[in-house]
Amino acid sequence: MDLFCGFFHERMKDMKKHIVCIGDSNTHGYCADPTDCADGGIRFNEDERWTCLLQKALGEDYLVTEEGLSGRTTVFPDPLHESMDALGVIYPLLKSHEVVDLLIIMLGTNDVKERLGANAACIAIGMERLVRKAQSVDCWGDKAPNILIVCPPPILPLMEQDPCGKPMGKGCVEKSRELPKFLEPKAQLVGAHYMDAAQCEFNHVDGMHLTKKGHAQLAQLLAEAVPGLLR
């Protein structure tokens, strides 16, 4: 038994540090401006998405897994679309990717939708609930849960004039601006790391999706921070 345990721990040491990134369309890589995407499509490719850029920056000792879904929220079910709340899928998602060394959660942009009826304070409470659920999942191996909350950039006012802004509804810009002051204390409360991605560039087409430059900026921020979170 002692020999087996020793072998197991040595194997764990040799495994890549596994980073799972849960998010919405900005993690999936949605491109609102085809002229900004090398392939001219609706999704940034593997040379452009922040998750892929993070993998390249960190190197072969790390494994970055992207779990992005357009429209995803923290805990709020969307009456127009199915299975959009991360809370409802966090258990099977994390179990399917175990062992997890670091979970990066970047959500909140979709939570500000008028039809969901949540203000910035409630969205932060939703994040707290999601993180606590993630911490309870048996996917961390022999280590403590390790979670980084990334607050997305604030939505730009031009979103309200864009056709895709109409379903978002009223109040989105204001709520997204208020989110950092509520999210950071929640991160401290639940023992999670925190990063504000406000400096990462949103496009000037719909005002709520990262540009190619924004993806690179986010990847750089994370590449600088992540190694220190995986001691």
Q: What is the pTM of this model?
A: 0.93
pLDDT per position as a tens digit, 118-161: 999 999 999 999 999 999 999 999 999 999 999 999 999 999 88
Where residue 33 sits, what CATH number does that domain have? 3.40.50.1110
Answer yes or no: is 144 within a domain: yes
pLDDT (average), residues 201-225: 97
Answer yes or no: is 163 within a domain: yes
Answer yes or no: is 6 within a domain: no
Answer yes or no: is 1 within a domain: no
CA-CA distance, 21 to 112, in Å (whole number)?
21
Please give the share of the chain, as a percent, with pLDDT higher than 70. Answer: 94
DSSP string, the chain: -HHHHHHHHHHHHHSPEEEEEEESHHHHTB-S-GGGSTTSSSB--TTTSHHHHHHHHH-TTEEEEEEE-TT-BSSPPPTTSSS-BGGGTHHHHHHHT-S-SEEEEE--TGGG-GGGT--HHHHHHHHHHHHHHHHHSS-STTS---EEEEEPPPPPGGGGGSTTHHHH-TTHHHHHHHHHHHHHHHHHHHT-EEEE-TTSPBPSSSSSSB-HHHHHHHHHHHHHHHHHH--
Answer yes or no: is 118 within a domain: yes
Number of independent structural domains in the chain: 1
116 in Cβ contact with 160 (< 8 Å) = no
What pLDDT, on a 0 to 100 scale, did the predictor assign at position 230? Answer: 94
Answer yes or no: is 10 within a domain: no
Query: Domain of 95?
Result: 15-229
CA-CA distance, 194 to 184, in Å (whole number)?
6
Answer yes or no: is 2 within a domain: no
pLDDT (average), residues 164-189: 95
Beta pairing partners, 165: none
pLDDT per position as a tens digit, 48-98: 999 999 999 999 999 999 999 999 999 999 999 999 999 999 999 999 999
pLDDT per position as a tens digit, 216-229: 999 999 999 999 99
